[in-house]
Structure 1
Amino acid sequence: MILPQSRASGVSNVHEARIALGTRLRELRQRADMTGRQLAESLSWQASKISKIENGKQTPSDDDIVAWTGATDGESERADLLASLHTLEVQHAEWQRQLRTGLKPHQNEIAEINARTRLFRVFESTYIPGLLQTAEYARSRFAQSITVFKVRNDINEAVRARMQRQDALYRPEKRFHFVLTEAALRYRLCSPEVMLGQLDRLVSMTSLPNVKLGVIGFDTAYVVAPAHGFWLLDDERVMVETFSAELNLAQPQEIELYSSVFNELSAVASYGRSARAIITRVIDDLAQQLPAE
């Protein structure tokens, strides 16, 4: 059977990740100076299971990795290997595959993740984060997705789902730290009228007690380049959106890296009155471009 291109690509990515995991397990076995048969005997497994896992033909379970690292003195790498396993199927989720049933189901999936998250650290260099969007701005963003990915138009349902997600902003047990570039406030991703409403909302968001909103102005000297946006959810997951896919990263070293990058970006951002001054300046510039009544 020939798979559709997007599905085939998804299967290929998962297979490559499974092979990479198997390669790391093989390296542990070799460092322990054990043959596949010796490892199998020590674990009371069939030798074929070792071969299948190492060659990416079988996905190991959590218990398999715990047993493998214990038998090969690889306990120090156990956490990383388990993280690789847990993100194997979701680390590269193509938009075509995620959105094939429409936009709303994906919004519901994100809402479930948000419900479990207590600390949100969000950096965006291009557009306003979904949790801060007005309904009109969200509609513009979803319209782009429909145009690019040719998916079912359930834009009204998707907008409602995104607005419902924003209830999390008013949950006192949750904390939010957003950092935006001034460019994200100025890009023409919607009409000027819609963007003015969006900028007004950002100003109001700075007054929420559990929301910290930073803006990096154009005149700021960067220590780390604002290469792309990302979401850090607690210390468990990094979500990165590309044109083709949503990447879900969960390796401890990836969490640490993105935490460090976020700290560098947030350190040069303006907050409070200074952040509102940047937003107000953008509002004034945009208002001047509207036709006179």
Structure 2
Amino acid sequence: MPRSPSSTVQAARNELGVRLRELRKEAPLSGRELARLAGWAPSKCTRLENGETLPSVDDIRTWCRVCGADDQAEDLIAATRTVDSMYVQWKRVQRTGLRRLQESYVPLFERTQSFRVYSSNVVPGLLQTEGYATALLTDITDFRGTVNDVPAAVEARMERSRVLRQGRRRFAFLIEESVLRHRVGDDDAMADQLGYLLSAMAFPTVSIGVIPLAAPRRMWVVETFSIYDAEQAQVETLTAAVTMTAPGEVAVYAKAFAELGKVAVYGQRARSLVAAAVDSLG
């Protein structure tokens, strides 16, 4: 089953550190010798080789120069950028508000033909109504203390959701039943949101499965994740978005999605769970 997003990023850092260590040994240089020639403290070499610190572009160029391996620099710089892009802190991408984050997904959505989304906490973004999205993004803005551009961010989220009705894309959503019960916004916002879920179940390109609270579990509740074709998986944590493109990692999330899908109910049984959530609003 999926390893934690943080362990995936750390594994990539460790692999980069191993490549640096191999270059040093091929030189051949000790860690202290490399540090002296680079003008660094010996502890820096240790941190880079152990994956404790992600090297900068200048660090890579210096390391390769000292080791007589300038021809390796560009490949290592590319690897560093790949690791850096795997882990994107929300505070970094949301520092100017939420609108730009919503818009940043548009190219990915436009090139994806098959979407698989599992959500254990909120209604997936592509299925959110304006009222629900407004309440949710307001809460996120307040919690993170970012610039309040909620109306513009909601407009961008609604705009990107048009992908549901464009082209011949396929969408498969799995939602824990608890998501239907979590109150986001007032009763009217929740009623509208749940009503839209019922409508979306009839879209020809959309499959929505609900995992009942009482269902015998074949797969435990995990963090919310999305799979775009077979090329990329993204996991959302409280502090960051972690993107995985390694085929083995994406395949593990695809396996998890398949296992979760076996527990879910569809069609009328799923509609009944949504309707029960509507009734619970009073």
Q: 2 CA distance for matches of 1:251 and 1:20?
A: 15
The structural deviation recorded for 1:66 is: 11
Work out whether residues 172 and 210 of structure 1, in 8 Å CA contact, stay in contact via their aligned partners in 2: no
Residue 92 and residue 156 in structure 1: after superposition, are their counterparts in 2 closer, same or farther (change >3 A)? Answer: same
Q: 2 CA distance for matches of 1:117 and 1:241?
A: 19
Q: Does 1:216 align with 2:211?
A: yes
Work out whether residues 196 and 283 of structure 1, in 8 Å CA contact, stay in contact via their aligned partners in 2: yes
The structural deviation recorded for 1:85 is: 5.3
Q: Which position in structure 2 is the counterpart of 1:37?
A: 27
Work out whether residues 139 and 155 of structure 1, in 8 Å CA contact, stay in contact via their aligned partners in 2: yes
Question: Gaps spanning 5+ residues in structure 2: where?
Answer: 1-8, 29-37, 39-44, 50-54, 65-70
Of residues 233, 238, 260, the one that matches 1:265 is: 260
Any idea what the Cα deviations from partners look like across 1:138-178, whole Å, max 9, x if unmatched?
Answer: 00111011111111111111011000011100123211000
SS at match of 1:153: coil
Q: Which position in structure 2 is the counterpart of 1:128?
A: 123
Q: Which position in structure 2 is the counterpart of 1:282?
A: 277
Residue 233 and residue 64 in structure 1: after superposition, are their counterparts in 2 closer, same or farther (change >3 A)? Answer: farther
Q: 1 CA distance for matches of 2:25 and 2:238?
A: 43
SS at match of 2:203: coil
Q: Which position in structure 1 is the counterpart of 2:229?
A: 234
Q: Does 1:106 align with 2:108?
A: no
Instruction: Give 1:12-91 correspondences, 5 Å limit.
Output: 19-25=13-19, 29=22, 35-37=25-27, 55=49, 56=55, 57-58=59-60, 64=72, 87-91=82-86
Give TM-score scaled by structure 2 length.
0.77
The structural deviation recorded for 1:181 is: 0.8
Q: 2 CA distance for matches of 1:24 and 1:206?
A: 49
Of residues 136, 153, 167, the one that matches 2:148 is: 153
Cα RMSD between the aligned structures?
A: 3.1
Question: Gaps spanning 5+ residues in structure 1: where?
Answer: 1-14, 39-47, 69-81
The one-letter code of the counterpart of 2:130 is: A
Work out whether residues 126 and 184 of structure 1, in 8 Å CA contact, stay in contact via their aligned partners in 2: yes
Q: Which position in structure 2 is the counterpart of 1:170?
A: 165
Q: 1 CA distance for matches of 2:207 and 2:72?
A: 42
Work out whether residues 97 and 147 of structure 2, in 8 Å CA contact, stay in contact via their aligned partners in 1: yes
Residue 143 and residue 67 in structure 1: after superposition, are their counterparts in 2 closer, same or farther (change >3 A)? Answer: closer
| Number of residue-to-residue matches in the alignment | 244
The structural deviation recorded for 1:26 is: 5.2
Of residues 137, 156, 163, the one that matches 2:132 is: 137
